[in-house]
Structure 1
Amino acid sequence: MKYPHVDRQLFEKNRQNFTKRLSANSIAIFQSNDEFPRSGDQTHLFKQNADLFYLSGIDQEETILFLFPDCPNPLYREVLFLRQTNEHIAVWEGHKLTIQEAKNVSGINNVYWIEEFWNILPSVISYAESIYLNTNENDRYAHKVPYRDIRFIEKIKDLYPLHNYKRAALIMRELRPVKSEIEIELTKKACEITRDAFVRILKFIKPGVAEYEIEAEIIHEFIRQRATGHAYNPIIASGKNANILHYNDNNQICKDGDVILFDFGAEYANYNADMSRSVPVNGRFTKRQKDVYNAVLRIMKEARKMLLPGTIWNDYHAEVGKIVEFELIGLGLLDKQDIAKQDPKAPLYKKYFMHGTSHHLGLDVHDFASRYKPFEAGNLLTCEPGIYIPKEGLGIRIENNILITKNGNIDLMDDIPVEAEEIEAIMNS
């Protein structure tokens, strides 16, 4: 763990908010993520289950969180189970949390080694009426691998078939989109690190530089500032590569006259930044490149104004679509008469802007939230319009992270260069 410990008040408050939404006499059980195999005897870098981290702050494999607020035995109302270390683990893997350290991180006083879980659970589960279990219910994902949550569900239902089983995700989807002050500060830190990496590469880019060299500069700055790493696989897409929305090869040479589309962000204490910028390889936009860039920037500025409490997801994206249409007409890419005759279910602007304008942001880059619930104060969303013109080998996307408040919204990336002239000035300084 590279980052300093997070204030445990965050996790204590999160547990309070969660448990008060449980039905009477209910247990909730959360599992850490698996360590996924990479090859041979190697595993991928461990990434904690977002919900377990949200409720406990524990960033370690083989962890179980057990919440039973109505348990007749006070010892088992909040329990954390940890992997017990030994001399072999210490030599090969390094330090693991002690019981006292886990108490300090989480604010949970009753901490046991994970081997005790199946001794303690049978002693109290018969006093519960319902059991809340967790799965990854992000509506952008359908699981194909029987990960730890799924295996646990199968096991506990086999052992205790007569309990009433409920979905913890319904509560988490209500809680996680509204960010607390501590969460906002952690996200700001991720945004600051992302800013510094962007300014660093603006001074590094020149014709002949490889996309992977730019990626190396980014991760250097991230790790130097104690970020965990990339929030997601970074996109360093020069020239025609910018028209591949999830381009991750990052293996081409950046050519004089091309524009590079960046989409990257730092992960800090498990909270994520998500930024997109487009910059000229040689430090100067052509007139056409700047016209397209400024069109996208105007779309972003107008879209941001709509990120307010009460805004409806579908209405918001429909309104942004109208702004995109106007700009595409100005760029000579669409015609008013064609738009008047278009199929509303397949608007013509989608040829040049085919993805959504915003998504929730937090512990997951595409954070857990309902797309059918109006925006509310405390929501944190991206704002990321783009225009992609494959025939011109040009793709522009601009993305900032926007916090909705009761009095409007705040751009957490307002100090990251975004105006075309500002970008050119730094690149030529």
Structure 2
Amino acid sequence: MKYLPVNEQLFTNNRKNFVSRIKPNSIAIFHSNDEYPRNGDQNFIFKQNPDFYYLTGVDQEQSILVLYPDCPNQRYKEVLFLRQTNDHIAVWEGHKYTKEEARKASGIQNIYWLQEYDTVLHTVINYSDNIYINTNENDRYAHTVPYRDLRMLETLRQKYPLHHYERSALILRDLRVVKSEIEVELTQKACDITRDAFIRVLKFVQPGVAEYEIEAEITHEFLKQRATGHAYNPIIASGKNAIVLHYIDNNQVCGDGDVILFDWAAEYANYNADMSRSIPVNGRFTKRQRQVYDAVLRVFRAASKMIVAGTVWNEYHDEVGKIMAGELIDLGLLSKHDVDKQDPKSPLYKKYFMHGTSHHLGLDVHDFASRYKPFEVGNILTCEPGIYIPEEGLGIRLENNILITKDGNYDLMAHIPIEAEEIEELMNSK
């Protein structure tokens, strides 16, 4: 891993919080992510299952966590199974966790090699009443590929058909959304790296530069500061590309007079930032570009204030929609008469602002959380309004990451330039 070691207390506390919520005499099993083939003899770069990382801090493939707090054998209350390395693996793949390194990373004392898993599990599982299995229940995910946890569930059902099977996801959905102090620090680190990359880009962009050259500058800064890399595929959308919400081709030349819509951020220790900015290629917004930019910024300011404990998801988005409709009327894109007569189920503002204003942020960029539960202290959410005008070839989006505290909210990206004047000043100071 590129990132510095993470305090194992984070993962120890996460496990304590998890097992405190499971039923008595239950065993819970968690698997690392699959390794996915890229071509005939290579895999894609491994990315850890966020739930597994949340509970272990172990960032390695072919690993299993077993939690059985009521286990009659003291040795198996908390067990981590790892792939045992050998000379061949060391030569071809490099270093793997030793048992001592895994203890230090996770806080788990009982470490076994993976080949011992079946034997150890069978010696204790028949003493349990319930088996908790972890499945991907993020409502943004559509299941098409049978991942490791699902495959292992089928195996367990065949071997132990009379156990009661339970869902770990219900517990993790409540736990993961409330960030601890260490998690906030890791997210802040990702935001800080993102800021430095943005400042670097502001001093780099000029007419004639290619979108992919900008991407290279960002990647350089990320890796230089120990980020794992990009939190998601970076969007560097100049001119009319900005009206494509998930534009990731990044292969066009940035033209004089255009605006570039950025949506990119760093990942650090598996925790993600998520930033959007819009900047003028030549360092100066036109009058119309500035009008639209300032409208989005006003919506951003108003929406940010609503991200507090107790806010209800749908009510929040409806309220932001009303503010956006007013801005679109002022910009001449909608008429007040039409807005007053609109179908509330199909508000007209969605023609120019078609996505949501916020999502939870954490180990997943769109973090695992309930959209039906009011916002809580410890939540981190994005705030990302935008206006997209196809007929003008113009798209503006602004996005920061907001932490809810007991005293209100705190913008983790407050140190990243967002005012138009500051962006212009930095671009013209190179």
**TM-score by structure 1 length?**
1.00
Report the number of matched residues. Answer: 429
Give the match for residue 283 of structure 1. 283
Paired with 1:268 and 1:215, the residues of 2 have a C-alpha distance of 18
Paired residue type of 1:231: A
Give CA-to-partner distance per residue, 1:118-161, whole Å, 9 cap, x none: 01011001110000000111100111111111111111111111
Residue 375 of structure 2 aligns with an amino acid whose one-letter code is F
Report Cα offsets for 1:342-393 as digits up to 9, x if no partner: 0000000000000000000000000000000000100000000000000000
Cα distance, 1:330 vs structure 2: 0.8
CA distance in 2, matches of 1:113, 1:315: 50
2: CA distance between counterparts of 1:105 and 1:342?
56
TM alignment of 1:37-186, pairs within 5 A = 37-186=37-186
Aligned residue for 2:126, secondary structure, equals helix
Structure 1 partner of 2:239: 239
Any idea what SS the aligned residue of 2:279 has?
A: strand
Structure 2 counterparts to residues 19-418 of structure 1, below 5 A: 19-418=19-418
Q: Distance in 2 between matches of 1:389 and 1:42?
A: 42
Residues 312-337 of structure 1 show CA distances to partners (whole Å, capped at 9, x for unaligned) of 00000000001001100110101100
| Cα distance in structure 2, aligned partners of 1:196 and 1:100 | 35
Flag structure 1 segments of 5+ consecutive residues without an equivalent: none
Which of structure 1's runs of 4+ aligned residues deviate more than 3 A? Answer: none
Deviations 1:262-319, CA, capped at 9 Å, x for gaps: 0001000000000000000000000000010010000000000000100000000000
3-state DSSP class of the match of 1:127?
A: coil
Structure 1: how far apart are the matches of 2:86 and 2:210?
45
Instruction: Give the superposition deviation at 1:406.
Output: 1.2
Say which SS state the counterpart of residue 396 (structure 1) adopts: strand
SS of aligned partner of 1:403 = strand
Give the 3-state SS of the residue equivalent to 1:423 in structure 2.
Answer: helix
1:196-228 CA distances to partner (integer Å, 9 max, x unpaired)? 000000000000100000000000000000000
What secondary structure sits across from 2:170 in the alignment? helix
For residue 321 of structure 2, what is the amino acid of its counterpart?
G
CA distance in 2, matches of 1:228, 1:418: 25
| 1:242-278, Cα deviation, whole Å (9 max, x unpaired) | 0000000000000000000000010000000000000
CA distance, structure 1, for counterparts of residue 3 and residue 75 of structure 2:
31
Amino acid at match of 2:407: N
Counterpart residue type for residue 173 of structure 1: R
2:131 aligned partner, one-letter code: I
How far apart, CA to CA, are the structure 1 residues paired with 2:419 and 2:338? 32
- Measure the CA separation in 2 of the matches of 1:142 and 1:159: 28
- For residues 412 and 207 of structure 2, the distance between their equivalents in structure 1, rounded to whole angstroms, comes to 31
1:113 corresponds to which letter in structure 2? W
**Distance of 2:234 and 2:153 partners within structure 1:** 34
SS in 2 for 1:131: strand
What is the DSSP-based 3-state SS (H/G/I as helix, E as strand, rest coil) of the residue aligned with 2:193?
Answer: helix
Please report the RMSD computed on the Cα atoms of aligned residues, expressed in angstroms: 0.4
TM-score by length of 2: 0.99
Partner-residue secondary structure (3-state), 2:139:
coil
